[in-house]
Amino acid sequence: MLSSSQWRTTALEHGAVPLIERTLRRIRAQDRSLNAISVLLDDEALSTAADLDSSTNPGPLHGVPVLIKEEVDVRGAPTTYGTNANPTPAASDDEIVRRLRASGAIILGKTTMPAFGAFPFTESEARGITRNPHNPRFTPGGSSGGSAAAVAAGWVPFAIGGDGGGSIRIPSAHCGLFGLKPARGTLPGELWCRLGTAGPIARTARDCALLFDALSGSEAIESEVASLRIGVSLQPATPLTPPHRDHVRAVRRVADQLRGLGHTVSDYALRHKDPTAAFVTQFFAGIREEIAGLEYPERIEGRHKVTRLAGAWAQGPALRWAEKFSDELGEELDRVFEDVDVLLTPTVASRPARAGALSRKGMLAAQIASLPSVAFTALWNVSGHPAMNIPAGRGRDGLPVGVQLVARDERLLLNLAASLSAP
């Protein structure tokens, strides 16, 4: 498993083409069991690699392969949103893909997701079931489950996900990866109205930072983290979704590690307005907007035909209220970071579900099954704050455990994550 810097060094010394050829062969052989890839762009990837091999001006991600979640436009590949309803290839790249290409990255293809990213399980009628590389009997989470599975399998050092309610952080937790949801407005484009944004999923904190820098147009800044005030909260969004004991232990373990690094750590009582109504409104509005833009909306899954009908109210005054509430909640939670510098929480409340968790579930049942996964993540989508999953060992089931860090600034999260993962 090469890091991005090792990829770059090897591409410069020996050429990007043989590296990409081997990677494509490996993905084709191994993805039969994981189902993480929706499309591979073999010819384009190899053509890009050949161009890079003749380049005299290598970028910071020269020759490094990247995979992109299905909902992001990549020239020459359909933007399916996890459905069969949008078969025509996109004519141009999304801005974040253009930034990746400008940095020298090679776009290998696109990764699987549940239809419209609606659930924290990567399963759909169009793509089937995506499985966790740590144990294929379990889900990698979602909705960026294909991206997380591909990174965890070691095919690429990082990938692009999208996060509207936890969809980067949840699969990162289930797959033992670093996953960052940037702050609202940091990256171009929005998902689900004001809720979502694209972001990086990576095996290491450094790779997560490098990919974030390429996406944001910033320059990598690594610095030692001064003594911070860390607040620990085990409070989920609803009392119906208490955190699993493995996650509580992981939070306490990371809290002890932070104390050992010289930070002040104490329990923190997180108080805020209930974000549920604002989240649900933007969730329905965002999916209805995506459905409206499809070439063949009649091809969507039956449960999302229900979603479209059930969300008919999520527009006009209701949507404007929800977006205004998001801004107000962001201001309210800013005050948390006057008391502490970083908040430490579980990433999810529950352990990874068995693969096939959505089988035969309608829209309502699927949403209920999703609640434990988003109990600690969705709040920060509504508020717009950056939040990050970091690996925190394994549970008693042998699968990875993650914890969530939240702050005002992405760079603080990335540097703190790097300090926690340093040898």
Point out the residues that are catalytic: 69, 143, 167
Check residue 92 and report its DSSP letter: S
3-state secondary structure of 39: strand
Asked whether the beta carbons of 142 and 114 are under 8 A apart, the reply is yes
Residue 127: C-alpha distances to residues 32, 186, 352, 365 (Å) = 12, 31, 20, 20
Q: What is the DSSP string of 167-222?
A: TTHHHHHHHT-EEEEPPTTSSS--BTTTTBEEEEEESSHHHHHHHHHHHHT-----
In angstroms, how far is the first alpha carbon of the chain from the final one?
17
**Number of other residues whose CB lies within 10 A of the CB of residue 55:** 14
Instruction: Give every CB contact of residue 238 below 8 A, 6+ residues apart in sequence.
Output: 371, 375
Q: Which of 2, 308, 6 is nearest to 151 (CA)?
A: 2
Q: How far apart are CA 66 and CA 159, in angstroms?
A: 5
* Token output for 110: 């696109």
Asked whether the beta carbons of 37 and 129 are under 8 A apart, the reply is no
Asked whether the beta carbons of 72 and 114 are under 8 A apart, the reply is no
Long-range contacts of 309-318, Cβ-Cβ distance < 8 Å, separation of 24 or more: 310/284, 310/363, 311/283, 311/284, 311/285, 311/287, 312/288, 313/284, 314/280, 314/281, 314/282, 314/283, 314/284, 314/285, 314/288, 315/285, 315/288, 318/281
* Cα-Cα-Cα-Cα dihedral sign, residues 149, 365, 383, 232: negative
